[in-house]
Structures are given as structure tokens and as C-alpha cells.
């Protein structure tokens, strides 16, 4: 590698598991897939608002979407119960192999950046709790540009980095946005299992973070 290259990691769902809020929803009587429903609707409405020229932080959309998603599946909750679910987002646990993958990339002299729809503060706290903050050179949030991924302006935050620039994510729509913005891409199948056929395809498809790290390192060995 002639110059330090960069990998931008998505955070929620890619580096950090949604199991904590999922368990909170299950305790309220929701089915295990209620987490996917709520999070997908949150992302849909956040992206729709951003596309229309507005913007709200991800946490604000999550809070607004939660009672709506629960009502759609027939579950009534108190404000306190909903707060417990939202608070679980500050306690997300790292996906298996996160530290191993980051160590593999750092050892190979890659520059690591967090690029999240979440806030910089919440992202920093998650990385600190997982004891991996020191691996990251920068933490970048959509709040900076007041637009939500997959808007090109978000990916432009990392396009000026030296060398190759990669996006690693477990969301097909995130990989699609990065591809169209001109980044190299690695899609992790852990959450969505398969990639959307109508999107431009990722350069790498990996089963988990460690697999993605190993494949990326091999691209320039």
C-alpha cells in the first residue's frame, strides 16, 4: 500500500447489534421481527424527510416512530416503557469479531472512520463502551451535513481521504449510496442475508466483519 487508505464503517446494525432494543420490544410482547419493522420504518421516514429537504436527528425519528410501529402491531405502551426501549440504543453491544476486524485493518495500515446516521456523541459513547474508540481516526455523523445516508453529501465527507476509500455496511441501501458516490464497497450479509438485485452491486460480499476485513486487505496485497 503506497498511501494510507480509508475504510468508513456504518455503525448501527453493522458494527453494533440491535439485540438490546430487540429484547426490550420482546418484553413488551412484540415479535422478534418488530425490531426490523421499527428500524426500517425509522430509516424510511428519516431518508424521506432528508430527500424532501428537511432533516431531523436519527434519535428524534426513532422516538417518533416507536409508538406508531407498536400501534401497528397492536401493542399499547407507556412513555416510560418506550423510553426504556430508546435508551437501549445507548447500550448497543459490538457485533462479534468487531475488535478482531479493526485490529486486522489497523495492522495493515488502514485509516478507519465511523460514518453514521447516529450522532457523533452517541457513536463515540458506543465505541468507548466497546473499547474500540482508539482504532478510529474520525467520527463523522450525518448531523454534520443535515442529510441522511444514502445522500451523496454524506459520503462526500470521506471522499477527500488519501488512497482508496471503502464503505463497509450491513445495509444494502447504504452500500448502494456509497457505490453511486464512487466509493469502494463491502456488504455484510449478517442482517439482510442477501443484497437487493436492483442496486449496483458491492465489490465485496462478506459474512461478517472479520471476513470483510480480510477480503479488503487482500485487495491491495
Q: CATH number of the domain that 108 lies in?
A: 3.40.50.1000
Q: Do 111 and 69 fall into the same domain?
A: no
- Do 119 and 202 have their domain in common? yes
- The per-residue pLDDT for 1 is 44
**Residue 1 in domain:** no
Who contacts 34 (Cβ-Cβ below 8 Å, separation ≥6)? 22, 25, 26, 69, 70, 73
User: pLDDT band at 53, cuts 50/70/90?
Assistant: very high
Residue 25 falls within a domain, yes or no? yes
Separation in Å, CA 86 to CA 49, 92, 153, 156: 21, 11, 28, 30
Judgement on whether residues 135 and 202 belong to the same structural domain of the protein: yes
Helix, coil or strand: residue 129: helix
Q: What CATH number should be reported for the domain holding residue 82?
A: 1.10.150
Write down the pLDDT at residue 2: 45
| Segment 61-75 mean pLDDT | 95
- 58-67 pLDDT, tens digit per residue, is 999 999 999 9
CA dist list (Å): 149 to 22, 52, 59, 123, 177? 23, 13, 15, 15, 7
Task: List pLDDT tens digits, range 173-211.
Answer: 999 999 999 999 999 998 899 999 999 999 999 999 999
User: Within a 10 A sphere around the Cβ of 94, how many other Cβ atoms?
Assistant: 18
Q: Find, among 56, 196, 205, 51, the residue nearest to 119 by Cα.
A: 56
Number of domains in the chain: 2
Pick from 57, 174, 161: which is nearest to 113 by CA?
Answer: 161
- pLDDT at res. 221: 64
Are 125 and 203 found together in one domain? yes
Query: Over the stretch 131-169, which tens digit does the pLDDT of each residue have?
Result: 999 999 999 999 999 999 999 999 999 988 867 899 999
Amino acid at each position: 500500500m503506497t498511501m494510507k487508505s480509508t475504510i468508513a464503517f456504518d455503525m448501527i446494525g453493522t458494527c453494533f447489534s440491535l439485540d438490546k432494543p430487540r429484547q426490550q420490544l420482546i418484553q413488551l410482547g412484540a415479535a422478534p421481527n418488530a425490531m426490523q419493522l421499527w428500524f426500517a420504518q425509522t430509516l424510511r421516514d428519516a431518508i424521506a424527510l432528508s430527500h424532501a429537504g428537511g432533516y431531523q436527528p436519527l434519535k428524534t425519528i426513532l422516538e417518533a416512530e416507536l409508538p406508531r410501529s407498536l400501534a401497528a402491531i397492536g401493542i399499547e405502551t407507556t412513555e416510560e416503557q418506550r423510553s426504556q426501549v430508546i435508551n437501549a440504543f445507548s447500550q448497543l453491544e459490538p457485533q462479534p469479531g468487531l475488535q478482531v476486524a479493526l485490529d486486522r485493518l489497523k495492522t495493515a495500515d488502514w485509516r478507519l472512520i465511523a460514518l453514521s446516521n447516529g450522532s457523533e456523541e452517541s457513536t463515540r459513547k458506543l465505541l468507548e463502551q466497546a473499547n474500540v474508540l482508539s482504532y478510529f481516526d474520525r467520527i463523522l455523523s450525518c448531523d454534520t451535513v443535515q442529510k441522511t445516508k444514502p445522500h451523496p453529501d454524506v459520503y462526500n465527507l470521506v471522499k477527500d481521504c488519501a488512497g482508496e476509500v471503502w464503505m463497509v455496511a450491513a445495509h444494502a441501501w447504504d452500500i448502494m449510496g456509497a457505490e453511486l458516490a464512487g466509493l469502494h464497497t463491502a456488504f455484510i450479509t449478517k442482517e439482510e442475508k442477501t443484497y437487493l438485485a436492483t442496486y449496483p452491486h458491492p465489490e465485496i460480499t462478506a459474512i461478517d466483519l472479520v471476513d470483510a476485513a480480510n477480503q479488503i486487505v487482500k485487495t491491495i496485497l
